[in-house]
Structure 1
Amino acid sequence: MSADLPKRDAVTAAFKHAWLAYERDAMGDDEYHPIGKSGSNLTSAGGIGYTVVDSIDTMIIMGLDEEYQRARTWVAEKMSFERDGNFNTFETTIRVLGGLLSAFHLSGDSMYVERAKDLADRIVPAFSTKTGLPLSQVNLAKRIGVPDNDNRGLVSTAEVSTLQLELKYLSLLTDEEVYWEKAEQVMKVIKDARIATGLASIFLNPDDGKFAISPIRLGSRGDSYYEYLLKQYIQTNYTEPVYRDMYDDAMTAVHTHLIKKSEEEGLTYTAEILPERDTQGKITWRMIPKQDHLVCFFGGSLMLGAVTTGTIEHAASVPPRAAELTAQGTRDWISGVELVRTCMETHRTATGLSPEIVHFKTATDHIESAHDWYIKGARPGHTPYDARYILRPETVESLFIAWRLTGDPQYRQWGWEIFEAIEAHCRVASGGYASVLNVDALPVALEDKMETFLMSETLKYLYLLFSDESVLPLSEYVFNTEAHPFPIFHPTRGTGFF
C-alpha cells in the first residue's frame, strides 16, 4: 500500500486552500463563511476556536509546519474557554477536546494537555445529573450543564455515548480518574437500559436513564453510539470485553431489524423505525426506507468490526480470508462492503456529490428515479434540505478504512472521484469551500458555510487514503468521531461494570 503522491499532494493543496482562506479572514472564529470572507462564533459571548483546533492535527499529519506553528501560537496565546455562553457538550468534546488531545499525541507538546484539562474541567459539570448522563449543553464560564429545552430535557443517545474516547485518553494522560468515571458511568446506564430488540432509540432520559420513545436509526443522534461501542473496545487494546459484548449485541440487532435490500438493484441500506401513537394511545412502530449520509460511516465501521470482534484468531489478513472470520465476522464484512457500495451509488448525481438524506424505493412507491434511491421532495423549482451536500466526510471515512483493510484500488478510485467533485463544485476561487444546496442541479447554488469537519475529517481521510499504510496504522490508532487519532493503549484500571 504505497502512497499515491500526486493525489495525496492534491489533497494537501486543497487543505491549504481552505485553511489559508480561513486564517486570512476569520482566524480564531468558530466557523468560516468563504463567500462572504467572514467568520462567526457559536455564542454571543465569543468563540473557542473550533476551526483552529479541529484542523491542527491535519496540519501535523500533512507536514504543514508553517501553518501548524501559527495555529499552535493562537492556541497557546489567544484561546480562551472563559465564555459565558452555552456550547454543545458533544460537539465541543469531539472537536475541541479531541483536537487538543490528538495534537498533543502527534506533537508531544504538553501545552495541549493543559488546554485539554482546562476544557474538560469545564465540561464535567454537565454530567451532574441523577444518572450521570451529561446534559446537551454546557456553559464553559459558569461550569454548569444546560438542558436542551427543545427536546423536553432529553439527551441524544449518540451525543452522550460519544465522549468516551476523549475522556478516557485524557484520564490516561493526567492520571485523574474523574474523566474515566464520568465516561464509563454513561455506558453502564445505557447497558442497563437495554431494550428487548437490542437497538437504541435516539433519546435518553437523564433523570431515570431509560430510553425515551423516539425514532431508532443509525443516522443523526444514533450514529456514533454504535461507532464508539467498537472503538472503546479497540482503544483499550481489547481489554474491556463489555464493549465487545455490547457491540456484538448491537450489530446482531441492526442486522435483524434495520439492514434492508432495495427492490431492483439489491442495494444494502439501513432503514429507520418511527414510533407512532394511535387514537387509543397505543404505540406502534413504522419502518421508513430512509438513510442519512451520516450512516455512510457504518460500512467501514462494520468492516473494521469484522476483523476486530469477528475473527477466529485476533489478527486477520489483508483482505481477510474466509477461514479467518466467524459467521458473525463474515456477516458484518459482507454488509460493510455492500454499504460502502450503496453510499457510492448515492454519489451518482449531477455533481457527483451525495445528498444529505436519501429514501429507497419500495414496491408500493410510484417514484420516477433512475436509481433505487431518490431525494424526497426534489422537483423543479423546489430544493429540499435533503438535497444538500455540506462537505461531509462519512463516505470517504469508510473508503479509507476499506482501503486499509483490503488494498483494493477501487476504494482509492472512488475517493478520487469524490475529491474531484468537491473541487469542481464546492471550491470557492478566493479561498475555502462551500456547501452545495442541491447535488442534482447544475450549475450549483452554494451556501456560504465551510463546516469545520472539511479540514478535520473529509480532507484528512482523503489524505490518508492516498498515503502509505505506515501513516497512522489502524493497528496502533483509533480515530474519534471527528477523525482525531488517539493511540491504542493498555489501561491502568479495570472496567467498572460488566
Structure 2
Amino acid sequence: MHLSADTSKRDAVVSAFKHSWHAYERHAMGDDEYHPLGQSGSNLTEAGGIGYMIVDVIDSLQIMGLDDEYSRARTWVSEKLSFERDDDFSTFETTIRVLGGLLSAYHLSGEDPVYLEKAVDLADRMLPAFETPSGIPFPYVNLAKGEGRHAKDFPGLSSIAEVATLQLEFRYLSHLTDDEKYWRAAEKVMEVVKRARLPHGLASVFIAIDQGQYETSVIRLGSRGDSFYEYLLKQYIQTNNSEEVYKDMYDDAMEAIHTYLIQKSMGNKMTYTSELVPENGPDGELTWRLTPKQDHLACFLGGSLMLGATRTGALVHPVSVPPKPEELSEKGKRDWKTGVDLIQTCMHTHDTATGLSPEIVYFRVPSDGMDVLPNAPTDWYIKGAAIGEFPPYDARYMLRPETIESLFIAYRLTGDQRYRDHGWRIFQAIEKHCRVEGGGYATIINVDENPSRQEDKMETFFLSETLKYLYLLFDNSDVIPLDRYVLNTEAHPLPIFNPNIRTGFS
C-alpha cells in the first residue's frame, strides 16, 4: 500500500529542523554538541570533537532535501573531520552516531567515497576495543592510541545495550569493503551473548568484559538494556532474513519479555514494561523484585514488536498493510497486539501539563499504598515530583524520539491515521515548550509545569532521530521504505543486503 505525504505537516517539521540546524551552523559549526540557550557549542573531550553533531545529522539533511546545508556539511566532513583525538570516547555512542552516520551518508549520497574513507579510518581505530579475553568490547576507546578503556564508574563491565548495538554498523562496513574483520569482531559479541543466556531468557544490563558472563544487575528494557533487544530483530532483517540465529534469539527474548516484564496498570489496564531488580533473600538466595518503572527509552518496543510481528511472526511475505490475522502466527498476533497496546500507553504518558512525556514513569500497583492519597493517579505517576521541590530527573523531556519512532513504524505498517495524529500532537508540544527563539530546541525540566522551564541542552538525537522520524511519519512511504532499509538505533538508514561472506554461528 502506498501511503501519501501530508506535505504541510512534513514541511513544518523541516522548518523546525532548519530553525535548529541554522543556529548550530551560526554558533557552533563543527562542535560535537549545541547549547541553544547559550548559543554555544562544546566538544565531548578536551582533545577535541569528532563531528558528533554534523555526522549524526548529515543523513537528515539528505533525506529532507536540504541541499545547500548538506553541501556545507559534506565540505566540513571532507576537510575538517578528524579522529586523531587522544582521549576516550564511548564505543557505543561513537558507533551508532558517527560510524552509522557516515555509512548512511555514504549510501544515500550514491557512494561518495569521502564517507567510506572516514568510516574505515574510524572503525580501524575502534577495533582494539574488541581485543578482550572474551571478545566483549571495552565501553570506551582512545581513538588516537587505538586502545580500549574501562568505564570509571563500572570497571570491568560493559552494558548489554552497548556491546550488542554495534553490529549493524560493523557488518555493513564489512559488506562494503569486503574485509571480514569488522563483521567478525561484532559477530563474536553476539556469539558470547548467546552463550551467556540466563535461564529466564532476559539480559541483565551489565556483562563482564573478561568472562563474557552476565553480572547480577537490574533487568530492564530502558537504559543500558533497550537496544540489545532492538538489534536482535534488526540483525535478522539487515541480512534479508538469512541468519536464523538472530530470529531465534529475538523470538526467545520476546517470549521472556511477555512472561516476566509485560504488566497491566491498576486503573485502565494499560500495558507497560516493568523492571526486575535483584535482591538477596533471607537465606542469601537471589530473588527478583518486579518494579513498575518504565523509561521513555522503552517506548521503542511498541514499534519494534509490530515490525517483528511482520517479519519473524509472519506466515506470508510480505504481509498486508495492515496485516490480516491469517497472515500472522500466534506469536506474531501476540507481539502485534502488545506493540499496539504499548504505543497507546506511551501516548498516555504525554497526558501532562505540557503534552510531553517524562523520562521515567511508575505505574500503579495494589501494594503502593497510594489509594489513601487525595487525587491519587489511576495508572501512572512521576516519582518524587513533589510540589515546591526541584523536579527530579524523571520529570524531564530530553527531546527523545522513542515514542515517535514507534509511531512512524506503526503508521508504515498500518496506514492508520491515528499514528500521524499522535505524532502531530507531540510535534506541536515540542514547538510550544521546547523551541528557543534564537534557534534550536531545549530540554524541558518538568513536563508537568506550564509554563515550562528549559535546560540548555539539545542532544544530537533531536535532529538525527526525533525530527527525522517525524519527517518520515508525514512523508510518503516510498522514502526509506521498511522493506529495503533497516534503521540503526540512531535512525541512520542502512540498506538491507544479502551477505557476501559466510555468516552466523549456532
Query: Would you call these one fold, judging by a TM-score over 0.5?
Result: yes
Equivalent AA in structure 1 for residue 65 of structure 2 = G
Check if 1:424 corresponds to 2:432: yes
Check if 1:343 corresponds to 2:351: no
Give the drift of 1:363. Answer: 0.8
State the identity %.
65
1:443-454 alignment to 2 at 5 Å? 443-454=451-462
Aligned position for 2:381: 374
Check if 1:188 corresponds to 2:191: yes
| Alignment partners' CA distance in 1, 2:254 and 2:405 | 19
Equivalent AA in structure 1 for residue 465 of structure 2 = E
What is the CA deviation profile of residues 46-79 of structure 1, one whole-angstrom value per residue up to 9, with x for unaligned ones? 1111000011000000000000000000000011
1:79-98 alignment to 2 at 5 Å? 79-98=81-100
Check if 1:488 corresponds to 2:491: no
Check if 1:230 corresponds to 2:233: yes
Q: Which of 164, 168, 184 is the equivalent residue of 1:165?
A: 168
Secondary structure, aligned partner of 1:224: helix
| Alignment partners' CA distance in 1, 2:86 and 2:58 | 25
Give the drift of 1:280. Answer: 5.0
Check if 1:385 corresponds to 2:393: yes
| Alignment partners' CA distance in 1, 2:108 and 2:456 | 32
In 1, are the aligned partners of 2:280 and 2:286 still within 8 Å (CA)? Answer: yes
Aligned position for 2:123: 120
Give the drift of 1:103. Answer: 0.2
Aligned position for 1:216: 219
In 1, are the aligned partners of 2:156 and 2:210 still within 8 Å (CA)? Answer: no
| Alignment partners' CA distance in 2, 1:496 and 1:315 | 24
What is the CA deviation profile of residues 217-255 of structure 1, one whole-angstrom value per residue up to 9, with x for unaligned ones? 100110000000000000000000000000000000000
In 1, are the aligned partners of 2:173 and 2:182 still within 8 Å (CA)? Answer: yes
What is the CA deviation profile of residues 343-365 of structure 1, one whole-angstrom value per residue up to 9, with x for unaligned ones? 00000000000000000011122
Moved over 6 A (4+): none
Equivalent AA in structure 1 for residue 383 of structure 2 = K
Secondary structure, aligned partner of 1:364: helix
1:453-472 alignment to 2 at 5 Å? 453-472=461-480
Secondary structure, aligned partner of 1:273: strand
Secondary structure, aligned partner of 2:368: coil
Secondary structure, aligned partner of 1:274: strand
Aligned position for 2:45: 43
Check if 1:62 corresponds to 2:70: no
Q: Which of 426, 439, 442 is the equivalent residue of 1:434?
A: 442
1:38-437 alignment to 2 at 5 Å? 38-108=40-110, 109-278=112-281, 280-367=283-370, 368-382=375-389, 383-437=391-445
| Alignment partners' CA distance in 2, 1:371 and 1:29 | 45
Give the drift of 1:152. Answer: 3.0
Secondary structure, aligned partner of 1:151: coil
Give the drift of 1:496. Answer: 3.7
Secondary structure, aligned partner of 2:502: coil
Unaligned runs of 5+ in 2: none
| Alignment partners' CA distance in 2, 1:415 and 1:371 | 25
Cα-Cα RMSD:
0.9
The 3 A distance-change label for structure 1 pair 320 and 454 is: same
Give the drift of 1:371. Answer: 4.1
In 1, are the aligned partners of 2:243 and 2:504 still within 8 Å (CA)? Answer: no
Give the drift of 1:313. Answer: 1.6
Equivalent AA in structure 1 for residue 226 of structure 2 = D
| Alignment partners' CA distance in 1, 2:93 and 2:349 | 27
Secondary structure, aligned partner of 2:425: helix
Q: Kindly tell me the number of residue pairs found equivalent between the two proteins.
A: 498
Equivalent AA in structure 1 for residue 98 of structure 2 = V
Unaligned runs of 5+ in 1: none
